[in-house]
């Protein structure tokens, strides 16, 4: 969990505002809880957002995954199955690998980043417009973008529903949102298998995550923000891909598409703002 010393605050369910939850795991001083009303899984209490922002330093971007060339080519390929060109905003754009690829393919691109280091890097080194702050504070006019992407970002955001609602406002009619995030179905199965082998395993993979989505809870949150779900699939999230990663990706994609069961390590979801 978030290891640096932080103040924390109790939160209610971001999806349905309920306080009625059950504890899935306790990792002091935090608990991972599941809302009894809507099944959203989240950290409670949560660190303060201003403290979280301070942890996204140059070191974080130097060592964390999500910025590999191959994985971002896969993501762009997914976007371009639905839309070929237009204005694209990448929320939490990291060091801009995805934005650079999209620009090369003819998209008009911009990003947002909480990290001052990252936002400056993108403006100065890549010459791409990058807003240094929260999406909710971005002052673009409603309907400004054709595509908004959030690659492994939604699970880090203190109030994800508010961000998705703002994304909906910022999209043009028929505009699309693309998200990737860890799939809690996979992590629950992994924990249960390890337990049977006598090994204790956390329900979480990353110390900075505040939310732990399943395909069901992410779909509900997107719909609550106004989106129609177009596709649920698998995210290729390997910074240094090997043959086994490709095989797993195509296997989980096949099972998800044919059987409708998504237990991939990271899921991908596509939503659309109605015409
Ligand atoms: Zn709830």
Going from the N-terminus, what domains does the chain have, and what CATH number goes with each?
A: 57-272 (3.40.50.150)
Distance 223 CA to ligand 1 centre (A): 14
- Answer whether residue 17 shows pLDDT above 60: yes
Please give the distance, rounded to the nearest whole angstrom, from the Cα atom of residue 219 to the centre of ligand 1: 13
Between 194 and 114, the more confident residue is 114
Q: Angle formed by the axes of helices 215-224 and 160-170, to 10°? A: 50
What is the distance in A from the centroid of ligand 1 to the CA of 36? 7
- Distance (angstroms) between ligand 1 centre and the Cα of 41 equals 8
CA of 18 to the centre of ligand 1 (A): 5
CA of 38 to the centre of ligand 1 (A): 4
pLDDT at 39 over 80: yes
Length of the chain: 275
The DSSP code sequence of 101-135 is HHHHTT-EEEEE-S-HHHHHHHHHHS--EEE-S-G
CA 126 to centroid of ligand 1, rounded, Å: 40
For the record, the structure tokens of 255 come out as 């099972």
Please tell me the predicted confidence (pLDDT) of residue 236.
Answer: 81
Other C-beta atoms lying within 10 Å of the C-beta of residue 137: 10
Question: What's the CA-to-centroid distance between 16 and ligand 1, angstroms?
Answer: 4
Q: Which secondary structure element, helix H or strand E, spans residue 21, and what is its range?
A: strand 21-27
Average pLDDT of every residue of the chain: 87
pLDDT tens digits, one per residue of 205-237: 556 789 999 999 999 999 999 999 999 999 987
Gap from CA of 181 to ligand 1 centroid (Å): 19
Task: Report CA(45)–ligand 1 centroid distance (Å).
Answer: 15
Would you say residue 273 has pLDDT above 70?
yes
With 60 as the cut, is the pLDDT of residue 239 above it? yes
Residue 47 confidence (pLDDT)? 83
Binned at pLDDT 50, 70 and 90, residue 4 comes out as very low
pLDDT at residue 136 above 90? yes
- Which residues, other chains included, contact 233 with Cβ-Cβ below 8 Å and sequence gap of 6+? 78, 253, 256, 257, 262, 267, 268, 269, 270
Does residue 2 register a pLDDT over 60?
no
Nearest partner of 146 among 96, 83, 93, 104, judged by Cα: 83
Q: What is residue 64's predicted lDDT score, i.e. its pLDDT? A: 57
At 41-88, the pLDDT tens digits run 999 998 877 777 777 766 666 655 557 888 999 999 999 999 999 999
User: Where does 28-156 show beta strands of DSSP type E?
Assistant: 30-35, 41-44, 46-47, 87-91, 108-112, 129-131, 145-151
Q: What is the mean pLDDT of residues 165-188?
A: 93
Q: How far is the CA of 245 from the centre of ligand 1 (A)?
A: 34
Report pLDDT for 35.
Answer: 97
User: How far apart are the CA of 24 and the centre of ligand 1, in A?
Assistant: 15
- Please tell me which residue, 109 or 24, carries the higher pLDDT value: 109
pTM of the model: 0.89
Using the mean position of ligand 1's atoms as its centre, give its distance from the Cα of residue 34 in Å: 8
Q: How far is the CA of 149 from the centre of ligand 1 (A)?
A: 24
**pLDDT surpasses 50 at 8:** yes
Ligand 1 centre distance from Cα of residue 14 (Å): 7
Task: Look at residue 188 in the predicted model and tell me its pLDDT.
Answer: 73
Report the greatest alpha carbon distance in the chain: 54
**Tokens matching residue 98:** 């995805």
């Amino acid at each position: 969990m978030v290891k640096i010393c932080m103040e924390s605050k109790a939160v209610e369910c971001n999806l349905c505002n309920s306080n009625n939850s059950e504890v899935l795991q306790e990792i002091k001083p935090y608990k991972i809880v599941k809302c009894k009303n809507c099944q959203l899984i989240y950290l409670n209490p949560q660190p303060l957002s201003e403290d979280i922002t301070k942890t996204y330093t140059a070191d974080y971007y130097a060592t964390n995954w999500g910025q590999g060339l191959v994985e971002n080519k896969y993501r762009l390929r997914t976007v371009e199955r639905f839309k070929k060109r237009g204005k694209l905003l990448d929320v939490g754009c990291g060091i801009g690998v995805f934005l650079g690829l999209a620009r090369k393919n003819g998209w008009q691109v911009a990003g947002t980043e909480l990290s001052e280091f990252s936002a400056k890097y993108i403006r100065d080194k890549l010459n791409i417009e990058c807003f240094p702050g929260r999406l909710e504070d971005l002052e673009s006019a409603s309907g400004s973008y054709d595509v908004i992407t959030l690659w492994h970002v939604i699970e880090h955001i203190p109030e994800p529903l508010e961000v998705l609602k703002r994304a909906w406002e910022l999209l043009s009619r028929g505009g699309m949102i693309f998200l990737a995030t860890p799939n809690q179905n996979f992590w629950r199965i992994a924990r249960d298998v390890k337990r049977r082998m006598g090994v204790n395993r956390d329900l979480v993979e990353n110390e900075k995550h505040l939310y732990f989505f399943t395909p069901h809870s992410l779909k509900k949150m997107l719909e609550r923000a106004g989106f129609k779900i177009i596709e649920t699939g698998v995210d290729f999230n390997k910074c240094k891909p090997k043959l086994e990663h490709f095989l797993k990706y195509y296997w989980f994609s096949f099972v998800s598409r044919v059987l409708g069961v998504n237990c991939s390590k990271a899921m991908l979801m596509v939503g659309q703002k109605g015409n």
